[in-house]
Amino acid sequence: MPVPTLTIGATKLVMDRGDITTQSTDAIVNAANTGLRGGAGVDGAIHHAGGPTIMEECRKLGRCPTGKAVVTKAGRLQAKWVIHAVGPIYAGLTSDNTELASAYRESLMRAVEVQARSVAFPCISTGAYGFPVKQAAPIAIGTVSKFVEDNPDKFDLIRFVIFTDADYAAYFGEFTRRGAVRG
Ligand code: APR
């Protein structure tokens, strides 16, 4: 089914409804916490579906500061890699925006390092961490677009995987504003 698509050089940015754990992209991104200790939401779903080897690797890595990302293998998941990104706990500060942008940028840096050519993102920080999705969507899409512009030929596909109606509306608005077509 055609989905909203932005084309940047050789890379497609798409948004689609779905579950992050069933994505067949090379890498999927986890909405993790600084202790890399698992949780609910995306984090719980990934560890549940991927099995215990992901947590074993997370324990070895230890911690990950807010705005950063680390990578593990993906256990039983279809993806090869899980990129554990830590978004900010929303507090209404300017630093929330910069930390969220950093979490997306760092995720793509890890993806380049492991040569993942396709990456699926959930809406980092918009669940338990309370970041308003209308504010988060332009940061997510804008940061990823800029990274892809600055790193041509690194990615074939970036997919934003959307779980809720409110998230879909916010992402659709931003994709449309940027001239997305149904691809
Ligand atoms: N696939 C895709 N998106 C999902 C899924 C899923 N299986 N489950 C939830 N979501 C959506 C939520 O609807 C929300 O919009 O992902 C977004 C992010 O929500 P959270 O998973 O709560 O992530 P976040 O807000 O970044 O909070 C991170 O929550 O689970 C804990 O350990 C995690 O402490 C960390 C915190």
If you average pLDDT over every residue of the chain, what do you get? 98
The finding on whether 28 has its CB within 6 A of some atom of ligand 1 is no
Q: What is the pLDDT of residue 47?
A: 98
Answer yes or no: is the C-beta of 142 below 6 A from any ligand 1 atom. no
Tell me the CA–centroid distance for residue 126 and ligand 1, in Å: 7
Q: Mutate which of 23, 42, 134, 168 to test ligand 1's pocket (most atoms within 8 Å of Cβ)? A: 42
pLDDT tens digits, residue range 98-108?
999 999 999 99
CATH code, 4-182: 3.40.220.10
What is the pLDDT at residue 1?
Answer: 83
Can you read off the two tokens belonging to residue 114? 């492991």
Extents of the domains making up the chain: 4-182
pLDDT band at 183 (very low <50, low <70, confident <90, very high): confident
pLDDT band at 56 (very low <50, low <70, confident <90, very high): very high
The C-alpha torsion from 129 through 110 and 2 to 122, rounded to 10°, is: -10
Question: How many angstroms does the Cα of residue 9 sit away from the middle of ligand 1?
Answer: 30
Check residue 170 and give its pLDDT.
Answer: 98
35 has a pLDDT exceeding 90: yes
Mean pLDDT (whole number) for 1-8? 95
Q: Which helix H or strand E contains 81, and what residues bound it?
A: strand 81-85
Ligand 1 centre from 2 Cα, in Å? 25
Q: What is the average pLDDT across 167-174?
A: 98
pLDDT in tens, 117-166: 999 999 999 999 999 999 999 999 999 999 999 999 999 999 999 999 99
pLDDT band for position 70 (cuts 50, 70, 90): very high
Find the mean pLDDT for residues 17-45.
Answer: 98
Q: Which atom of ligand 1 lies nearest, measured to the CA of 161?
A: 2
- Residue 61's pLDDT band, with cuts at 50, 70 and 90, is very high
Mean pLDDT of 154-182: 97
Which neighbouring-strand residues pair with 92?
A: none
pLDDT of residue 153: 93
Q: How far apart are CA 166 and CA 30, in angstroms?
A: 20
Taking alpha carbons only, the member of 111, 123, 135, 152 closest to residue 7 is: 152
Cβ(129) – ligand 1 distance below 6 Å: yes
Q: Which atom of ligand 1 lies nearest, measured to the CA of 44?
A: 30
